């Protein structure tokens, strides 16, 4: 993914997170929002690549996210994804709001990048495009003014 697209994607994820977490969210709201977005992603991908494929993508993305956010990693071995989800959600909810926001956004970004390396940018955006809240074309101008 190119630098420009990476920042565009990061911004889209941030906006999506803000949309689902609400105004002045706490860590609990961020954890909830992260998993709402994840469920939307899952809903888009599972019909195409199957639940097994989605589960593997989740585990790999979360594994990569823990390099930057070691506190997300769990010492327990989770054989099923449901318990892994629950564990990560609890960790996000108990963290600092800013750190949890960063960790949640990074996880979603890594997931998108992982999918991009496998099936390409175009197809990734084709499949997941409706999940994200894109910056409006005028937002930069708005910011400048």
Q: Which stretch binds another protein (CB under 8 A): 33-41, 47-55, 66-74, 135-143?
A: 47-55
| Distance from C-alpha of 37 to C-alpha of 34, rounded to nearest angstrom | 5
| Distance from C-alpha of 4 to C-alpha of 125, rounded to nearest angstrom | 15
Q: Is 122 in the site for another protein (CB under 8 A)?
A: yes
| Distance from C-alpha of 46 to C-alpha of 64, rounded to nearest angstrom | 21
The answer for residues whose C-beta is within 8 angstroms of residue 60's C-beta and 6 or more apart is: 114
Query: For residues 120 and 49, is the Cβ–Cβ distance under 8 A?
Result: no
Q: Is 73 in the site for another protein (CB under 8 A)?
A: no
Q: Of 61 and 100, which has the nearer Cβ to another protein?
A: 61
For residue 127, the tally of other CB atoms under 10 A from its CB is 17
Q: Smallest distance from the beta carbon of 56 to another protein, in angstroms?
A: 9
Q: Which stretch binds another protein (CB under 8 A): 49-57, 61-69, 73-81, 134-142?
A: 49-57
Q: Of 22 and 50, which has the nearer Cβ to another protein?
A: 50
Distance from CA of residue 53 to its chain's centroid? 17
Q: Of 44 and 89, which has the nearer Cβ to another protein?
A: 44
Q: Smallest distance from the beta carbon of 138 to another protein, in angstroms?
A: 26
CA dihedral 72, 75, 78, 84 (to 10 degrees): -20
Of residues 18, 81, 127, 135, which one binds another protein by CB under 8 A? 127
Q: Of 18 and 119, which has the nearer Cβ to another protein?
A: 119
List residues near another protein by CB under 8 A: 46-53, 118-120, 122-123, 126-127
């Amino acid at each position: 993914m190119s630098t420009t697209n990476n920042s565009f994607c990061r911004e889209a994820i941030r906006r999506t997170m803000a949309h689902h977490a609400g105004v002045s969210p706490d860590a609990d709201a961020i954890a909830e929002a992260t998993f709402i977005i994840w469920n939307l992603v899952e809903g888009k991908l599972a019909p195409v690549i199957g639940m097994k494929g989605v589960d593997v993508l989740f585990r790999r993305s979360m594994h990569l996210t823990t390099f930057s956010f070691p506190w997300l990693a769990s010492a327990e071995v989770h054989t099923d994804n449901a318990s892994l989800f629950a564990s990560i959600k609890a960790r996000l909810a108990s963290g600092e709001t800013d750190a949890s926001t960063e960790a949640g956004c990074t996880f979603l970004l890594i997931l998108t990048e992982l999918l991009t390396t496998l099936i390409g940018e175009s197809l990734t955006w084709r499949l997941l495009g409706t999940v994200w809240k894109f910056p409006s074309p005028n937002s930069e101008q708005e910011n400048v003014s």
